[in-house]
Structure 1
């Protein structure tokens, strides 16, 4: 099964074939995958049947995180994420937010990290439900990069 979708037409075919399955959507940069990411994504998958992950493109990550990011390019990040059992599909988006992707998918459940407030979640009005999942304390890509730079 192809897990990395290259265009909205491929995504449309997936959505049309869903047969009553509950669609969960989340998004992020996922630059250096760590335990916190994996546990977050596993919890997101438990909320429904199909987990679609919107992955920020390299250009999008640079705009959001700065010129030194991402560490891993979008193709590498997509391949690593698609290898996780909990992720059904990965879609790369180039915008700063996944709003257009969320409008297109209209997920049953929109998932974001516990560092958000419900009213701050982009696209929540296009999902049937919005769920916040707490992060695992002490795990972040930024902290990993700092630790590498110190050593």
Structure 2
């Protein structure tokens, strides 16, 4: 799929969009089991600029962050699902536990995270602001998360533990 790109491809694309004076928006995450909260979040992020780039945690990165039982969905399938969303322009996988290197390569105009992240804890926030960009924190949908969905499925099939 044309939307799923490599690190070097996103580096070149970012330069082209910067030269064309397009506003680049960047966000990142695991996006393991896509739900309505993800769709609303990503749609909101896309509306903050011209190009939305999604940094998607690789399977190895997700395991590092979430534990050995995650991700539920592998990176190839997660990439295809998020790339199919009309609001996303590009998806790039990253292996590191955080997207610092990717953010510094893309140098987005807008860095987006959920409002559950204090701005001073958002990886790359200082870099983006130092380079003239801004940070946007989006309020997340209450009572919906991949972890809660996994817990509900577990309760349905195995009863409360």
Give the TM-score taking structure 1 as reference length.
Answer: 0.97
- Offset at residue 125 of structure 1 (A): 1.8
- After TM superposition, which residue ranges in structure 1, 4 or more long, deviate above 6 angstroms? none
- Offset at residue 28 of structure 1 (A): 0.3
Unpaired stretches in structure 2, ≥5 consecutive residues: 157-161
Q: Which structure 2 residues correspond to residues 10-49 of structure 1 after superposition, within 5 A?
A: 10-18=9-17, 19-49=20-50
| Counterpart for residue 147 of structure 2 | 142
1:64 pairs with 2:65: yes
Deviations 1:81-105 (A, max 9, x none): 0000000000000000000000101
| Counterpart for residue 81 of structure 1 | 82
CA distance in 2, matches of 1:39, 1:20: 26
What SS is found at the alignment partner of 1:17?
A: helix
- Offset at residue 138 of structure 1 (A): 1.0
CA distance in 2, matches of 1:8, 1:96: 16
Q: Is the 8 A contact 1:107 1:126 kept in 2?
A: no
Deviations 1:48-74 (A, max 9, x none): 000000000000000110111000000
Structure 1 range deviating more: 119-128 or 18-27: 119-128
Unpaired stretches in structure 1, ≥5 consecutive residues: none
Two-structure CA RMSD over aligned residues (Å): 0.9
Q: Which structure 2 residues correspond to residues 102-113 of structure 1 after superposition, within 5 A?
A: 102-113=103-114
| Counterpart for residue 159 of structure 2 | none
Structure 1 range deviating more: 7-16 or 127-136: 7-16
